Every structure is written in C-alpha cells, then in structure tokens.
A = this chain, B = another copy of it.
Amino acid sequence: MNQDYIIPDNWSIIEEGFEQDLVKSSESLFSIGNGAMGQRANFEEYYSGKTFQGSYIAGIYYPDKTKVGWWKNGYPEYFAKVLNAPNWIGINIEINGENLDLANCAAVKNFRRELNMKEGWYHRSFTATLQNGTEIEVQVRRFLSLDLDEVGVINYQITALNQDVSIVFKPYIDAGVHNEDANWEEKFWEPLNVKNNANEAFVTARTFKTHFTATTFMQNTILVDGKNVNASPSNVASSNDKIEFSYEVSVDRNQSATIQKIGGYTVSMNHENTEEAAKKVLSNAIFIGYNQLLEDQIKAWAKIWEMSDITIDGDVKAQQGIRFNIFQLNQTYLGKDSRLNIGPKGFTGEKYGGSTYWDTEAYCIPFYMATKDQQVARNLLTYRYNHLEKAIENAAKLGFKNGAALYPMVTMNGEECHNEWEITFEEIHRNGAIAFAIFNYHRFTGDYSYIPEKGLEVLIGIARFWHQRATYSTYRNQYVILGVTGPNEYENNVNNNFYTNYIAKWCIDYTIEQIQKIEKEYSSDYTRILNKVKLSVAEINHWKEVADNMYFPFSEEHDVYLQQDGFLDKELVKVSDLDKSQRPINQKWSWDRILRSPYIKQADTLQGFYFFEDHFSKEQLEKHFDFYEPFTVHESSLSPCVHSIQAAVLDRMEQAYTFYLRTSRLDLDDYNKEVHEGLHITSMAGTWMSIVEGFGGMRVKNEALHFEPKIPTQWKGYSFKINFRNQILKVSVQSNETKFSLEGNKPITVFVKGKEILVEPNSLVTV
C-alpha cells in the first residue's frame, strides 16, 4: 500500500486535513459523474496550488494530430481524445476585499472532503483565516444530477466566524480551457457566443474539426441564512469565451451567505439548438430547485444501489473498496446511450483519451450484465456493431480484405486512434474479446436475438480477420500467428502468443457454429446476412482449416502452454526473487530489459484460462497459475482481479484476498502512484468480478447459475445481487451458509457446489 489518507467508512470516501500535495490525488478520488458528464473534484474558488482541472462531457472528443518520432505506414492521422470541457463549476470568492485561495490563507483548518456514495454527492468544508484576518467557514456540496443528466448543482455556503464580512461571489462559466495532454498545445474550443440574462448565462462554443457544439450554462441564487435574497449581479464581466457575474453580500458575524449555482451543458449530439435547449434544461432545473434535486439524487442512487450493492461484513476497507468501485462504474456509464462507452479513466482524467479499449468487452460487460437491465450490455455490444464498417476499413488499411474486420485498439468513433506499432498493429487479441463478449452476453442473458440481428456480422468480420492473419508454416505443417502483442504488453512482436492463437481459433469455431445455428433457426436473417457479407461455403472451409490446425506452443517439461514461442529461453527468475528496488519495472527498467525478462504485466495465458475456464481441468489451471503467476508483476490495473478469481477457484483464499484488496483499493490506496492522473475505471468491474465470480464462484453453465461460495477469513460474510434473465437473485454468503432469495415470478434452479437447489420467488433458501 502506498497511501492511506482516505478514512475507512462503509459508505463514504473521506479526507480530513488540508495537504496541498494530495490535492491532485483527491481531485481524482472525489470525482463525480452521471454517465453524461463528469467533474474532477477541483475547487470552485481560485486555487493557486497544483491542480489538474478536468470537466468532461461524454462523447465529445477531438482528433488531436498524431505525434510520433518515426512514422509507420498504417498509423492513424489523428488521435481522438476526450476534451477538457468548459468549466461550469467556477465560483471565485472575495472576502473583505481579499480573494479566497486555499494555497494562500493564513490558516486552513477542519478541512474535510466527503464523497457520499450512497447519496451521490460530494461535500467539502473548511474554516479559513485569510491574510486580512477574516475567519470564515465554508461548506460546499456538489452533485451531478442522475435524473437531469445535463445538470450539475453547487451549494456554496460561507459563514462569518470572527467578524462581519463583505462577500463577493463571482460565479463564472469559461470555455477557454485546454487539455494537459494536448499534443500540439492547440486550443480545442472555438467560442461562438456568450449571452446573459438576469442571473443566467450561456457560453456556446464549438470544437474545432469535430464541430461538436456545447452550450455551457449557469444560474445563480444568493441566500442569506438560507433565505433567497433575490440578488442580481452587481457586475457582469464577459469575453468571447467566458462570463463572470459578481454578487455582493454582507453578512454579520455568525451569519451565512450561500450561492446556489445550477450549471451544466447541452450538446449538439442531443440537441439541434444547444442554446435553446440550455434555457429549457435550466428553467426545468430551477423549477425543481436545489432541495428537490438533491432529494431526487438520493433516490436515484438508492435505486442503483438497490440492485448493484455488494455488502461485506467485518472489513470496512474491503467494503469501502467495493462500493467505491461500483459507485465509479455507475458514475461513468449507465448504459442509456449506445453511442457511449467506458473509458479506462472514466471522467476522472485525460489519460487514455477517454476512449474505448478491449477493457469494455473483457472486463466491464459482466458487471453491467448482472447489475443492470440486459439492454445496457446489449448497448455496449451494439456500440461495436455500429463500428463494424470502420473496423473493416481499419483492417483494409493494414492489408486485409474481403470484409475482414480489425477493431481498433483505442477508439472514440470507430476509427483507430492509437499509434505505437507494437500495440496498434499487433495487439490484435482485442478482436477476440469483442467476439467473446457476444458469446458471454448470450450465455448470461439467454438473449440469442442479438446474434442474428447484429452479432453475426461482427463475428464474420472477426473470423475473416483471423483466417487472413494466420500464416501457414510449412515447417510446422500448422497455422501460426506471427508478430503479435498479447494482453501482457511486456512482450512485443512475439510469435504464437498462446492467448491470441487460442482466442483466434475459438472465434472461428464459434462463428461457424453461429452461422450453422442461424441457417437452421433464423433463415431470413441467414439469407440477409449471407447476401450482405458474401460468404461462401468454400470460405468457411478455409477458416475451418486454420482453426483445426492452429499451433499452440507447449512445454512438455513443464506441462504448460507457453505464453509464446521462446518463452523458456528467458532467465526465469521469479518476481519474489527480484530486488524490491527494481519495482515497478515499468518505472525502473528500460523497455528492452522488460521485454527480454519473463515478467508479465497482466494475465495473458491465464486470461485464456479465465475466458475458457471450462475448456481446461482444475489441475491444468493450477499448473498454469503456478507457472505464470510467480512471474507476474501486476503492473496493469486489470491484473489482480483475474488472479483473485483464479486463486479463489484454487482455494487459495489468502492470495485471493490480497489480490482483492489490491484491485478494490488500487486507487484509494494508490498502489501504482498515479491516482493524480485519474482513476482506473475499467478495472473496477474486475473488482466486482473478483467477488461475484471469485469468492462467490458464480458461473453460468447450461443456462443455469452455479455458485461455489467461499469466504476470506477476514470477512464475516458478504452479499450481492444478480439480474439473471430479468429476475433478481440475492446471494448472501456467511461462513457456514449461503442464502438465496429471488425477486421475480418464476422459480429458478441454481447449483451450489454442484448441488441443485430450487429458489422460489420471494422466499429465502439457505444452503
């Protein structure tokens, strides 16, 4: 563990005391989001200390020009990245003529942040003594409405502690923002117009190139001792991309003045006229009012928790960890809009450009399938279906033909926007995860309709890719896949990565099965699709030839599949024998040294054993786990969760627990020393899996739920809920019993450690 300033609490993330060095970390940890927009926990008022400003609007991106030292054919010209959106939260504060700036106060006391995950708001409070001697108490609550997802609300209250105070509130909205990670220091927003009317203001700006228009808006109300004083701005300062109001208020000692700011964005993705839309959205929010908005927020989050909460008894840190993960996932993506997806950092930072990675299919879909309506997972699949044409174009750029599809490594709009050849061109296993997610969706939800409707076309494009990407080796008389990067990105350009070869073969086999099934059972879809993609029996036979003769590197000596050709040539020193001063290797070693080492960044061969667990025996899993885990440095956030699940399968509960803590508190405890850049959102779904699939042992086999409940010694018990085929099954695991209860109307059969149990609706079954 690397930091422990976050105070353990079952429902809240809490920081106490003002540490300037922690400001950027806390800005990440206390981020709020509502699926449509997000906001780092930046201060509303001016702050001259180190800060990383971040406001984000889902789906609004910019094609930043690619920056590489040495151009390679096939690199995308642009790198789509999430934009820092205009600032709607800003409220500068003047106290008896002095600007409030926490970096420059005479004293800051009782500083406290709380992110209340149960109710979905962020609160900050402190008392400050200014240079001029004025002492004030500040209480700020902020939230992004789940119900009105274009709206955010701030309640900023100042109490005079030691004298009468003249306060100037200066709320502003500002489109003159820039990205920290911009490649060419370009400005991304072109200001269009700035308007104001009474207490309302609107700044409309348009992104260069992509031409997304956003109107940023605000409305302000001033209260003294909780009573609206119907104030108007005493001054309005505006430029072409910013507008600031001034409200002057005087309060006596012990009196308080409050500004309530309603703000947010309306964007051209959703509205033809964003300014008109902003006016409507704002007037609706004003009509509802701050108090009711807050009440609605609490209800909306209660509804989310009702379905997705996981309780853990007897381990506050573990409880806080899992709730933080579930909370952040729901802040990032709620599944309402199939144009959106889940960026590795959600709305908490700029890294990874807010784009979509294979993380979604490999890690996030199980969480959304089990805790939301199945339409949400379907939307995530549809996202890729909608990008199929671009995936085919992307493959064509790399020399593939005839409808072969290579989904991009990183994307915002279906186009590739990553440019390291060893990743962009070679980390092709991502295609497999996209096919696997279709299989997984059907397996879990039982909804086959997606496949004839949309999924099969995606599968065919992917199968075509694998067929063309494999090379026939005369030498081996088998098909090989050369020059790839597997999930373990600490190997580049290797031959016959087991995971890649395995999922390639599986994709072809699975696609052929689906074609046959759809031919029999969905003949009109079959005809439509075959006509569209022009697939012949001969082509399918070619695929089959590749799948049936795929080569997998294997060591007789160790009785394990090899991560790739030549793995045994490495100096096989275990991580535990590596000097601690050398860790993390990605910060201590040059790239070539990492590459020739045996060290594994995240599950690679074991990722295959995770996806295809039922293809292998438990003994095989154990052998491979024992062979690979000791070389695994877990320097990817996606690593500990898979290992936690597999350790639990192998009854290694201490190890499973350690991995669980690492995945669930990765950001809270900042294991990788990078939380200031933002949170690791996609791995949070892995945390959920490590409880439900790991400790709970949940699997779907032959259309039924199976459980192998286990419990770490540190816990008294835990519970979770699963939306299984539109019925909600609650599972509570205690040390010596497991309880099931069902919200629904049909009894379901579950298997507990292989034993068949019937769970009737609305009754409790104890095993």
Contact = CB atoms under 8 A, between A and B. Distances in A.
Given A68-B68, A69-B68, A419-B69, A425 B592 contact: yes
Contacts of A422: 422, 492-493
A592 B69 contact: no
Interface string A38-82: 000000000000000000000000000011111011100000000
Interface string A205-235: 0000000000000000000000000000000
A565 interface: yes
Contacts of A494: 493
A586 B425 CA distance: 15
Contact of A472 (B471, B571, B593): B571
A109 interface: no
Interface stretch (A6-14, A267-275, A476-484, A752-760): A476-484
A482 B570 contact: yes
Interface string A461-482: 0000000000111111000101
A280 interface: no
B72 A69 contact: no
B592 A483 contact: yes
Contacts of A588: 73
Choose among A73, A425, A494, A595 the residue with the greatest number of B CB atoms under 10 Å from its CB: A73
Contacts of A495: 566, 569
Contact of A73 (B67, B472, B590): B590
A399 interface: yes
A646 to B, nearest CB: 26
A399 B471 contact: no
Nearest to A588: B73
Given A493-B493, A566-B565, A589 B473 contact: no
A767 B426 CA distance: 59
A572 interface: yes
Interface string A417-429: 0011110011000
A528 interface: no
Interface in A71-96: 72-74
Contacts of A572: 474
B397 A590 contact: yes
A535 interface: no
Contacts of A596: 471, 482-483
A482 B569 contact: yes
A64 to B, nearest CB: 11
A596 B596 CA distance: 19
Contact of A492 (B476, B493, B565): B493
A3 interface: no
A570 to B, nearest CB: 7
A473 B398 contact: no
A236 interface: no
A664 to B, nearest CB: 28
B426 A568 contact: no
A587 interface: yes
Contacts of A448: none
Interface in A464-516: 471-476, 480, 482-483, 492-496
A592 B398 contact: yes
Q: How many copies does the complex hold?
A: 2
Nearest to A473: B569
A616 interface: no
Interface string A118-140: 00000000000000000000000
B482 A587 contact: no
A591 interface: yes
Given A482-B570, A493-B493, A426 B592 contact: yes
A39 to B, nearest CB: 28
Contact of A568 (B66, B475, B591): B475
Contacts of A557: 475
Contacts of A472: 571
Nearest to A566: B495
A419 B586 CA distance: 17
A590 B482 contact: no
A589 B74 CA distance: 8
A48 to B, nearest CB: 28
Contacts of A471: 569-571, 596
Interface in A181-203: none
A254 to B, nearest CB: 54
A591 B74 contact: yes
Interface string A591-614: 111011000000000000000000
B68 A473 contact: no
Contacts of A476: 569
A590 B420 contact: no
A74 B397 contact: no
Nearest to A571: B471
B399 A72 contact: no
A398 B590 contact: yes
Contact of A69 (B67, B397, B473, B587): B67
Contact of A421 (B419, B426, B586, B591): B591
Contact of A399 (B493, B586, B589): B589
Nearest to A568: B475
Contacts of A496: 569
Nearest to A587: B73
B589 A73 contact: yes
Contacts of A569: 471, 473, 475-476, 480, 482, 495-496, 565
A355 to B, nearest CB: 14
Contacts of A566: 482, 495, 565-566
Which 5 residue pairs across A and B have the least CB separation, nearest first? A74-B590, A425-B592, A482-B596, A483-B596, A475-B568
26 contacts: A66-B69, A67-B68, A68-B68, A69-B420, A70-B420, A73-B588, A74-B590, A74-B592, A397-B590, A398-B592, A399-B593, A421-B591, A422-B422, A425-B591, A471-B569, A471-B570, A473-B570, A474-B572, A475-B569, A483-B595, A493-B493, A493-B595, A495-B566, A496-B569, A565-B565, A565-B569
Given A67-B69, A471-B569, 5 more contacts: A398-B593, A471-B570, A474-B572, A483-B596, A492-B492
